[in-house]
């Protein structure tokens, strides 16, 4: 387990988690993740963030090849979530640092997490900086990206932004740099991460990107706390990709997410797709027993329409459909068209329940829901095709 020198005397000393498949409900399948920590060797040896507690040994192994723990002077805590600060108490005990830097909200979170006494905590705000020898570290708070305590650290001498969760990707690789892996894999990992973690904070992302541009930080490396590091031209790629995600401009695309008991609702989903495709819409049909809710969300982020189907089940909707609607709503996607469909046996409440969910997300609903008793026939499938056509037309109007 070797450290990786990402700049002269700046080392990645994090851990690769090949095994985890869940991050508080967001599926890490099939790629796992990394917890990135960075060690800067200067007059004041400085550690940026730590790792998930069970990976402490891996981080220590890498760190010890750069500096003895007791020789480390400062710890910068950019974020208190346990995947980055979970082993902070053990590190403070081992390192006995001269100072531990965090944001004002970070201090509050640190107290609430660790109930410590006597730690040498020094609060830093946006605009504050410290000198560690040949280098300065400038701090910028990034509140709600994605926790209140979040901040990033900039080292101008290295043109390096240690950016915490921002620009992260959940991907376990033996490579450390974004330019070393397939670009489509990288983009998908960035999109998945943004859709499932950062999306609700998109207005703040746009403001922060503007702030960073106004500050005219000279950056040639973005070092996130998950996944691969962006260097050179990839810095602009990462910034532009985040702006694109945050703007949430809809594409000519629809997601049909459904569950089915006896394939009736499934047949309806396929018929709706036919109507959409008549308008040239890129359709993603996602059966919810085969597609995790985080995979659905990764498709929803750039879709113009979200069409949801469920048979009526116990006077409501099927559990997988309730789960995905709840998940999508929590991530606050903007600017979507919605529609509901489903089969029923005797009471038929499912389309009403789905419609209420879609309305609660402020989706435009240009088509009446379609519901079918028991098994769809030619006539009812034609209604589904027509629903697809109406949504397809609305998508064309929306995306131009
Ligand atoms: Fe990667 Fe918010 O923790």
Helix (H, G, I), strand (E, B) or coil at 138: strand
Per residue in 358-379, pLDDT (tens digit) is 999 999 999 999 999 999 999 9
pLDDT of residue 25: 86
Nearest atom within ligand 1 for CA of residue 150: 2
Contact 309, 372 (CB under 8 A): no
* CA dist., res. 53 & res. 86, Å (int): 5
Residue 355 pLDDT: 98
Is 282 an annotated catalytic residue? no
83 is catalytic: yes
Residues with CB under 6 A from ligand 1: 79, 81, 83-84, 146-147, 165, 225-226
CA angle 391, 396, 400 (to 5 degrees): 150
Nearest to 334 by CA among 249, 257, 265: 249
Separation of CA 166 and ligand 1 centre (Å):
9
- Is residue 81 annotated as part of the catalytic site, yes or no? yes
Judge if pTM exceeds 0.85.
yes
Residue 299: Cβ within 10 Å count: 21
Q: Which region, left, alpha or beta, applies to residue 76 given φ > 0 means left and ψ of -120 to 50 means alpha?
A: beta
Protein residue with its CA nearest to atom 3 in ligand 1? 81
Full set of structural domains in the chain with CATH? 4-247 (3.60.15.10), 255-392 (3.40.50.360)
pLDDT at 212: 87
Strands (E), 45-112: 46-48, 74-76, 99-102
d(CA 351, CA 284): 20
The residue ranges of the chain whose pLDDT is under 70 are none
Q: Which atom of ligand 1 is nearest the CA belonging to 147?
A: 2
Q: Give distance in angstroms: CA of 352 to centre of ligand 1.
A: 37
The answer to whether residue 263 is catalytic is: no
- Cα 159 from Cα 222, distance rounded (Å): 9
Please report, in angstroms and rounded to a whole number, the separation of the first and last CA atoms in the chain: 52
* Amino acid 27: pLDDT: 87
CA distance 112 to 147: 14
Rounded Cα distance between 125 and 141, Å, is 6
What is the residue with the minimal CA distance to atom 2 of ligand 1?
81
Q: Is 225 a catalytic residue?
A: no
Q: Let me know: does 340 contact 386? Beta carbons within 8 Å.
A: no
Contact criterion met (CB below 8 Å) for 349 and 315: yes
Q: How far apart are CA 223 and CA 167, in angstroms?
A: 8
Q: Whose CA is nearest to atom 1 of ligand 1?
A: 165
């Amino acid at each position: 387990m070797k450290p990786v020198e990402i700049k002269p005397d700046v080392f990645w000393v994090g851990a690769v988690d090949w095994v985890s498949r869940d991050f508080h409900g967001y599926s890490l399948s099939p790629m796992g993740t990394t917890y990135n920590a960075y060690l800067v060797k200067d007059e004041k040896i400085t550690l940026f963030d730590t790792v998930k507690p069970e990976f402490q040994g891996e981080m220590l192994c890498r760190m010890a090849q750069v500096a003895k723990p007791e020789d480390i002077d400062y710890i910068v805590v950019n974020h208190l979530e346990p995947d980055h600060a979970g082993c902070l108490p053990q590190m403070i005990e081992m390192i006995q640092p001269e100072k531990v830097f965090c944001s004002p909200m970070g201090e509050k979170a640190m107290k609430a997490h660790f109930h410590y006494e006597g730690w040498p905590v020094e609060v830093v705000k946006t605009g504050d900086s410290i000198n560690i020898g040949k280098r300065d570290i400038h701090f910028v708070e990034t509140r709600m990206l994605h926790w209140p305590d979040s901040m990033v650290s900039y080292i101008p001498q290295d043109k390096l932004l240690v950016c915490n969760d921002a620009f992260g990707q959940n991907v376990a690789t033996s490579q450390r740099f974004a330019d070393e892996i397939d670009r489509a894999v990288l983009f998908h990992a960035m999109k998945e991460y943004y859709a499932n973690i950062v999306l609700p904070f998109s207005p703040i992302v746009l403001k922060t990107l503007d702030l960073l541009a106004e500050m005219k930080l000279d950056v040639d490396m973005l070092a996130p706390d998950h996944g691969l590091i962006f260097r050179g031209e990839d810095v602009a790629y990462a910034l532009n990709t985040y702006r694109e995600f945050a703007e949430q401009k809809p594409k000519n695309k629809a997601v049909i997410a459904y569950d089915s008991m006896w394939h009736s609702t499934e047949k309806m989903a396929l018929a709706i797709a036919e109507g959409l495709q008549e308008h040239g819409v890129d359709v993603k049909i996602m059966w919810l027993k085969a597609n995790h809710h985080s995979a659905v969300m990764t498709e929803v982020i750039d879709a113009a329409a979200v069409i949801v189907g469920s048979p009526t089940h116990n006077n409501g909707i099927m559990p997988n459909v309730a789960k995905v609607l709840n998940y999508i709503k929590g991530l606050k996607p903007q600017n979507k068209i919605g529609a509901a469909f489903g089969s029923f046996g005797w009471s038929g409440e499912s389309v009403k329940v789905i419609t209420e969910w879609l309305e609660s997300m402020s989706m435009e609903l240009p088509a009446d829901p379609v519901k079918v008793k028991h098994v769809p026939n030619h006539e009812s499938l034609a209604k589904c095709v027509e629903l697809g056509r109406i949504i397809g037309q609305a998508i064309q109007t929306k995306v131009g």
